[in-house]
Amino acid sequence: MCLRLILSVLVSIAGLASAARVPGPEERIVGGSYIPIEYVPWQVSVLNVSLHHCGGVVYNDRAILTAVSNVSLADLSMLRIGAKVARC
């Protein structure tokens, strides 16, 4: 019983340690690099409340295009669109 408890605690700690190493947003695109927003003014962030959920592009003045897998399980009433404004 005690050995089982110790093993459970160790496995939990190992899981937390690996979760702490989730890459930051700047590390998620393999081979990618930072570019100024002025280079991609059509790029938007689809937010779930206030956290970045996925990316999208401006399709027209009333629509944003993103992958269906990004929003199929999301509560659509909680999604917001965010974009940085580039000063020209």
Give the chain's domains with CATH numbers.
Answer: 2-82 (2.40.10.10)
- Prediction pTM value: 0.52
Give the full edge-to-edge strand order of the sheet including 63-65.
63-65, 51-60, 43-48, 79-82
pLDDT digits (tens, 9 = 90+) for 45-66: 888 877 887 888 999 988 888 8
Selection from 48, 34, 59 nearest residue 81 by Cα: 48
**Phi, psi torsion values for 49, nearest 5 degrees:** 65, -100
12-43 residue pLDDT tens: 666 655 555 555 555 556 677 778 878 888 88
